[in-house]
Amino acid sequence: MEEGGGVVRLKGCVKNYDWGRPGKESRVARLYSRNTGDHTIEQDKPYAEFWMGTHDSGPSYLVKGAAENGLALTLKNWIESNPSVVGDKIVNKWGSNLPFLFKVLSVAKALSIQAHPDKDLATRLHSELPDVYKDDNHKPEMALALTEFEALCGFISLEELKLIVQTVPEIIEVVGNACAEQVLDLNEDGEKEKVKLVLQSVFTEIMSASKDMIAEVIARLISRLHIKNQARQLTEKEQVVLRLEKQYPADVGVLAAFLLNYVKLKPGEALYLGANEPHAYIYGDCVEIMATSDNVVRAGLTPKHRDVKTLCSMLTYRQGFPEILNGTAVNPYTMRFIPPFDEFEVDRCILPEKSTAEFPAILGPSIFLVMEGEGTMNTSSDEIVCEGDVLFAPANTSITVATSSGLHLYRAGVCSSFLDK
């Protein structure tokens, strides 16, 4: 296959983590089946993530006319042989790996309470525990809602923290009266550092408590909430806590959820998750894009490896509700979501009937995913595209997308501000 000369079709990769939605209702399963022609989707098996990119744990493959020694050619290997398809700026900074990993997630059950290390911490963790932290890269990420999408993200404000200490006795059981008093005595004015230290102390006490203590406390919490539910409607956070406990009985993450913001995104809204910020996705479908890395520090709502000490020490303990991103219009049908990092950005393009959108040539590569509908993608020739199609557009390729019936697609690429430097 020659480099350049239009878009290249890709086959993505699927991940069947246990928090995924069952095949019969998973958007990930549907996209994967249409993308690969694999019609053996198991109705009750969880289909969690659809991956597009050069990550070694789930590489994308070129679809046609590209085989080496009878083996399918990965996107990564093709880029290595044809570096001009990603452009000089990308090669100089990241080599033949795309700096971003593009995904679709179908979430039925909460993911772990986790955070991603910054570059310095990632380097140290990788050198100390290479079997757990397998690379030295940071992993900022962004989730863009396809359906209503629920998540826990960042710490609640001081005002809310005081309310939680006053209304959730089980938290005091774990952290002790002295710690609770410290919270109630805090004043935001001029005490930012002190507030941070007290919040860190509360969170660390909870996350470090013994399994037996947490199991007992959560049993009492759930019993109390069921009784309260007879007398009044439970708060949103209380309802979330009950849901989490059903999924992860006696897990410390159920209690820790009280300290985190509960966020509901509408379709087309996004959440940016920077380094060292705690978060957990709870339910819904989203497009996700992140720096290419496996680095996750987990400490709750998970059967996987937990690193409580690292998580509690690495967090920023920044408080307040996270910013919800609505994107910036780049043409009448396309919103662009740009994080404060070089590695990635995402475009969401919804074309109504009989409309056209232009994606001008840029100095870096793009991956396009058709989420719904059908239409044409024109570079040097017309490509008919429909739901599940994934296409790699080399650097310096201008693209026109058109549809007669309607088309919903996403483009992932390197951040424009980096390319324009």
Q: Annotated binding site: which residue ranges? A: 114, 116, 141, 279
Q: With left for phi above 0 and alpha for psi between -120 and 50, is residue 157 left, alpha or beta?
A: beta
Name the residue among 138, 101, 113, 69 with its Cα closest to residue 287: 101
Active-site residue flag, 243: no
Q: Which amino acid is at 113?
A: I
Q: Which amino acid is at 209?
A: A
Catalytic residue, chosen from 298, 306, 348, 411, is 298
Spatial separation of the C-alpha atoms in residues 280 and 300, rounded to whole Å: 9
Check if the beta carbon of residue 103 is closer than 8 Å to that of residue 51.
yes
Q: How far is CA 325 from CA 35, 142, 213, 272, 371, in A?
A: 29, 10, 39, 8, 20
What residues form the annotated binding site for Zn(2+)?
114, 116, 141, 279
Residues 6 or more apart whose CB falls under 8 angstroms from that of 62 comprise: 1, 8, 9, 10, 11, 72, 73, 74, 75, 78
Check if the beta carbon of residue 9 is closer than 8 Å to that of residue 390.
yes
**Helix (H) or strand (E) segment spanning residue 289:** strand 279-291
Spatial separation of the C-alpha atoms in residues 276 and 252, rounded to whole Å: 19
Spatial separation of the C-alpha atoms in residues 272 and 288, rounded to whole Å: 10
DSSP-assigned states of every residue in 329-395: EEETTEEEE--SSSS-EEEEEEE-TTEEEEE---SS-EEEEEEEEEEEEESSSEEEEETT-EEEE-T
Name the residue among 302, 193, 314 with its Cα closest to residue 256: 302
DSSP three-state, residue 270: strand
E-strand spans in 137-211? 141-145, 149-155
Known catalytic residues?
A: 298
